[in-house]
Chains A and B, each alone.
Chain A
Amino acid sequence: MEPEAVNDPVRLHKALDAVWGTAPGIGRLSAVNHTIIGRRFIITAFVFFGIGGILAMLIRTQLATPRSAFLGPEIYSQIFTMHGTVMMFLFAIPLIEGLAFYLLPKMLGARDMAFPRLSAYGYWCYLFGGSILIVAMVLGLAPNAGWFMYTPLASRPFTPGINSDIWLIGVTFVEISALSAAVEIIVTIFKLRAPGMSLDKMPLFAWYMLVTAFMMLFGFPPLIVGSVLLEIERAFDLPFFDPARGGDPILWQHLFWLFGHPEVYIIFLPAAGVISTILPVFARREIIGYLAIVISIVALAFLSFGLWVHHMFTVGIPHLALAFFSAASTAVAVPTAVQVFAWIGTLFAGRPQLKLPMLYILGFFFIFVTGGLTGVMLAIVPFNWQVHDTHFVVAHLHYVLVGGFVFPMLAAAYYWLPHFTGRMPRINLGKAAFWLIFIGFNLTFLIMHLTGLLGMTRRIYTYDPNTGWEWFNLVSSIGSFLMAMGFALFTVDVLLQFRFGRHAVRNPWQAATLEWVTATPPPSYNFASLPSVASRSPLREQEDLPVTLARGEGYLGFVRDDRLETLGVDVTSGRTDQVVRLPGPSYLPLVSALITAAFFLSVLFQLYAVAVVSFAAVIGSLLLWTRTSGETSDCGAIAIGRGETALPQSESDGAPSRWAMRVGIFGDAAAYGSLAFGTLYLAVVAPNWPPAEVAHFNMLASLAAVVGLVASAFAGWCSAGSAVAPVAAARHRWLLVCAAAHGVAFVALVILALQIPTPSRHAYAAATLVLLAYVVLHVLLGIVFALYALWRSSAGYVSASRTNDLHIGRIWHGYTAAIGILSILLMHALSWMVGR
């Protein structure tokens, strides 16, 4: 059906807003639009920042004087644990997600993120998970074993209350939102760009977010695996971290820091992306060294996964390991230096203006570079052995996190507030806020380096009067109050700008990136029609882009059958390859998130029958989302405006859903890898091995499992084959074979599981059981995928050209077979190893 060309911007706006807009009132609960979800993430993150800040004030009040009677040790342990947990998990990462969701589609020239309902689901998971933690705190049940929850302190014998479980479950709940955001960001950046925007013409912020999202994809699973193992240990007494039974407390540290180190670069990189975006605008020229910056952030991402042991220098690890991780930790300064000097060079080559966002960026330079320098000091092992676990580290981490993340985010706030609100500030409180925050911060933390060098350890609730730390702590506490005032002033300033700011002109900073093409505040659909891009600074090449796009002269300047459409492009070249159809507002994400919350709460309260049922309900509710996805007929290439056509995504083999599976499976592999690493680590390093009881796995069952897995992968492969896919009967046959093969594997794996000795008696049995359970879960989901594809196929969603449902399953079945076979081999190898 040929859509009517609309040349009137007002009519076009109304038509687009009718399908892209979200109903007011209760309807806002069904919002999936990236602008709304992005803003929600950002505002909620700032609320959590306030909570974390209040916790910090409590800490500084307690430490201001020696032997203070303000807080006792029990409540103090909850406060410092929550301060770290809230800041790292409920403020930093969600703020990044919010900024990414808000900005990316606009900067890339798209109308929304790739999976709007997933964005909404991620927000609700974040809100509910965060609320669990805060409610626990209000009830006096907050986690209290430190934000890094070292075992055995966080294990049941030493923290018997529900506190640690709340951390494990609450944080895992929130991390679902982070992982789903990571997959969505990668797919959006890969596929949903404006035609012509090849990878090397992408705004640098998109490169930073792409790299960050990959880091999240590989960095969060080790934490999730560790948290699940610790929760299983606490709930079912499976001794992963108990050395008396073949576990190892150090395994927790490895899993945690495998996440923890990339985490801080995950936090830093988007902030660096903000700087790479804002600084050139205020230098009034393009950034220098675009390619060098891209290379250095990719290098940073890889390097950051090789540094985690520098958090464990005092554990007692071999010298060679110490030397390696020390050298690698200093090497990471190189890609950071490339960026810092690229920024300085850009300022030198341009004509810098000291507007308010730029002031905050100067604050970043001072504070972050200082933090980076103390970081290099910490990488030096002999020095580390003195200052590890003292306030020197507390000072360092605040310098890099506040300098490297908070200051750029404050700059981002002032830079993009005119975009969010359509207003410029009328009163300039921002400068006063800056100086209060900057001076307050340095007063608090600069002297803290000395406090640490004088021997003040971390996480102590008080100290004695004759230690020599008294004056330094008092100064730090005074500084913290100054800083708090600064943040309060910032908040007031932002609220004032919202309510009383004067209306902004379009593109008040004269920037060159596409987000400034939209109206401010932006409409629900971003662009009335999509631009074609030929350079890194599209707004400089085509200054009248806002006008021409509003008139509908770009792509998709119309509404077709009440659909929400944007364009998909080839990953590298940016050539249009599909029309992506996106879902409109829906309550399903909220419903799914509520069921997910029910699952996590039932695990928390140990109602495991309810947990199993709600897990199944979560899967079911997620499958329900697909009711509105896909097409029931082929239609070939359709018009996209400007005389061009493209295939609908249902008929494209680069559809976002297929990419989501391709990308997501790597996250799963990271989790599996962590599990396998953990198992091998225990076998090689943990004390009290070999176990007394060894499993003797039935060869027939093992063989049946392998055959079942291979058959399911083969059948899955064949079902999507080019000869099979067009023929319904053939597809159905293969899908049934696939499901049946999974069924055989399931039965065989259960038989093998029953041969494992009592898992609570030794970590060998516990680890083997979890490994098997992981495969069983994938096999069961494999059955779900196969039967679901069968249903979709019967309902008319599959044809010769519409094969996404089959391909998505194919990837899953192949992956499941791979990890299944690996696990069976690993189990047998382990049994053989310990049985000798």
Chain B
Amino acid sequence: MLIGAAALLSLVLGLLLIAFFRPGIGERTPASVWIIGGGLVLPAVVLTPLMVYALVTGERILLSRAAAPIQIDVLARQWEWVFTYRIANASPRVSRNVLHIPANVPVHLNITSEDVIHSFWIPRLAGKIDATPGHVTKLRLLADAPGYYRGLCAEYCGTAHWEMQMTVEAHPSTEGFNNAVTQLPQHDPERRQP
């Protein structure tokens, strides 16, 4: 997209330079060359493939067809993230501001807020999605490699908006992930003082 944009900008600037340095060069060019060629054909030719690419890519990155047995609930609130891990045959576990996931396994997140609108964003793993009170939005993450990934809130939510950050810990194996989760507390940890 950057190359395409640079090319189009250069085209416009180049045309302007020519117009100023060679006055009268387009005196006999019919208006339709500009209106239809530049105004209709050029955008159509550029935008149509771009839109196709956009739609195809959009569907591809959503992981919506991947099986995602791991379901984690994300609760955004001023100014922290609370993650609830559902475990079969046991009570849910909770962690705060650290999201545990296994690497190489798609994880399904159900995201909501308990106060104002926040936005859940782990830049290296996925696009962002808003956390809106009264709604549950969904996001799927897939970490290609184990490690730590930083995340932040991406919708202005009050004076500590910048401080509302989190880390994703992608464990090398599913066993490692399960171990980490079972060691988490069972009830909601105390609210951090604002």
Mark A residues whose CB is within 8 Å of B: 73-74, 77, 145-146, 150-153, 157-158, 243-244, 247-250, 288-289, 292, 296, 314-316, 319, 322-323, 326-327, 330-331, 333-335, 337-342, 344-345, 347-352, 354, 362, 365-366, 369-370, 373-374, 376-377, 379-386, 388-390, 455, 457-463, 686-688
Contact = CB atoms under 8 A, between A and B. Distances in A.
9 contacts: A243-B132, A289-B34, A334-B39, A348-B25, A349-B27, A370-B9, A380-B54, A457-B121, A457-B161
A388 to B, nearest CB: 6
Contacts of B54: 326, 379-383
B189 interface: no
Given A342-B35, A382-B54, A152 B115 contact: yes
B156 A349 contact: no
Contact of A158 (B58, B134, B135, B158): B158
B123 interface: yes
Interface string B140-174: 00000000000011111111111000000000000
A282 to B, nearest CB: 10
Interface of B: 1, 5, 8-9, 12-13, 15-16, 18-20, 23-27, 29, 31, 33-35, 37-40, 42-44, 47, 50-51, 53-55, 57-59, 61, 78, 115-117, 119, 121, 123, 126-130, 132-135, 137-138, 152-162
B8 A687 contact: no
Interface of A is mostly: helix
Given A249-B134, A331-B47, A316 B129 contact: yes
A334 B162 CA distance: 38
Interface centre among A316, A334, A377 (most CB of B within 10 A): A316
Contact of A249 (B39, B61, B117, B128): B117
Nearest to A145: B156
Contacts of A369: 8-9, 12
Contacts of B26: 345, 347-349
Given A289-B34, A333-B43, A382-B57, A316 B135 contact: yes
A376 B51 CA distance: 10
Contacts of B121: 457
Contacts, number: 221
A379 to B, nearest CB: 8
A276 to B, nearest CB: 14
Nearest to B165: A464
Contacts of A389: 119, 128, 154-155
B148 to A, nearest CB: 14
A146 B133 contact: no
Nearest to B48: A330
B119 A382 contact: no
Contact of A362 (B16, B42, B116): B16
A341 B51 CA distance: 22
A158 B116 contact: yes
A344 B39 contact: no
A341 B162 contact: no
Nearest to A152: B116
B97 to A, nearest CB: 15
A457 B154 contact: yes
A341 B39 contact: yes
Contact of A344 (B19, B57, B59): B19
A373 B38 CA distance: 15
Interface centre among B34, B44, B50, B127 (most CB of A within 10 A): B34
B127 A386 contact: yes
Given A319-B58, A323-B55, A460-B162, 7 more contacts: A157-B115, A158-B78, A345-B33, A376-B50, A385-B127, A386-B127, A457-B153
Contact of B51 (A288, A319, A327): A327
Contacts of A383: 1, 54
B88 to A, nearest CB: 27
